[in-house]
Homo-oligomer: A and B are copies of this chain.
């Protein structure tokens, strides 16, 4: 009897699994807020297999009309600044207010800091037990740009599944902040107290990207340093280039032991989105982000295509070069003609 039941369960699960390969069924499940389907869908968009990519693209296309209704918030900072603590307290507050929160990690250096991401997932345990909270660490996937795109796609999937606040978390390594800014509405940069230090550690360009600078661990013996850092950053922010969204960067203090600091940050986040609503900036910004995503994806696909090109022609050319029978420059042009379709309306210059 027990075996029969197990068997039945197994058959059911297999059936569901199979049906979850169907983009229409997946979208239906997603729209109903099914977190298991969401996980499945994200695994699908993270896949590098050609057949999976085809289904993934169909899926994303179907989700696009239901996407875009969330607040997209990027959070960055050096390792140890307290990103997961920060997200957890903010998340709990939002959760209490009835929000559905998704936390996605993007980490270009994930092969190195794999442990820290897994750590994050464990550390946000208190937050992650709710059904209305979805936490997904990024895969330790070094495939060219794969991670970045799958994060954008995951965001769209989360939105289709009804999540209204999405945190994109990234370890600050210079490039990743810029990458995360290209996919969110608001960018929060966490800084350690210890005035002066961080001015050196984090590039000014990255500072200028931030809509909110948050000095973490602003408590106990660190409080004085944090206040000092606040003053310095506030002064520095006066010299920032004015942002396209006309928002003036704010500097706030945060401590996990001070619930008010968390509330104040949430108020500022809400203030940001209210301000942006008035100018319709988010809508405009997302359109141009999407177009940038297309360009980036195209660029990456081209790079991947080149990396995986039919090697025969390449080796042929290399041999001709070795024999001094062709110049490397002609060889490159011959390769171009092999792989590229000729297109009309091109310019007069190459």
Contacts and interface: CB of A to CB of B under 8 A. Distances in A.
Interface of A: 48-50, 53, 56-57, 60-61, 63-65, 67-68, 143, 149, 152-153, 156, 287, 290-291, 293-299, 301-302, 304-306, 308-312, 317-318, 321-322, 324-333, 335-336, 338-341, 343-350
A306 B143 CA distance: 22
10 contacts: A60-B330, A152-B328, A152-B329, A287-B322, A294-B331, A297-B328, A297-B331, A298-B332, A301-B336, A339-B343
Contacts of A327: 57, 60-61, 63-64, 153, 156
Most chain B beta carbons < 10 A, residue from A294, A338, A343: A294
A14 to B, nearest CB: 24
Nearest to A45: B329
Given A298-B306, A343-B339, A291 B328 contact: yes
A129 to B, nearest CB: 32
A331 B331 CA distance: 31
A147 B62 CA distance: 46
Given A287-B321, A321-B294, A324-B68, A49 B329 contact: no
Contacts of A64: 324-327
A346 B287 CA distance: 34
Contact of A341 (B63, B152, B339): B339
Nearest to A57: B330
Contacts of A350: 48, 50, 53, 301, 304, 308
A260 to B, nearest CB: 40
Contacts of A153: 327, 329
A40 B248 CA distance: 56
A93 to B, nearest CB: 31
Contacts of A156: 327
A329 B68 contact: no
B328 A293 contact: yes
Nearest to A322: B287
A324 B65 contact: yes
Contact of A328 (B50, B290, B317): B290
Given A308-B347, A340-B340, 15 more contacts: A50-B348, A56-B329, A60-B329, A293-B329, A293-B332, A294-B329, A294-B335, A297-B333, A299-B306, A301-B333, A305-B336, A308-B349, A308-B350, A339-B340, A339-B341
A148 to B, nearest CB: 11
Contact of A329 (B149, B331, B346, B348): B149
A22 to B, nearest CB: 18
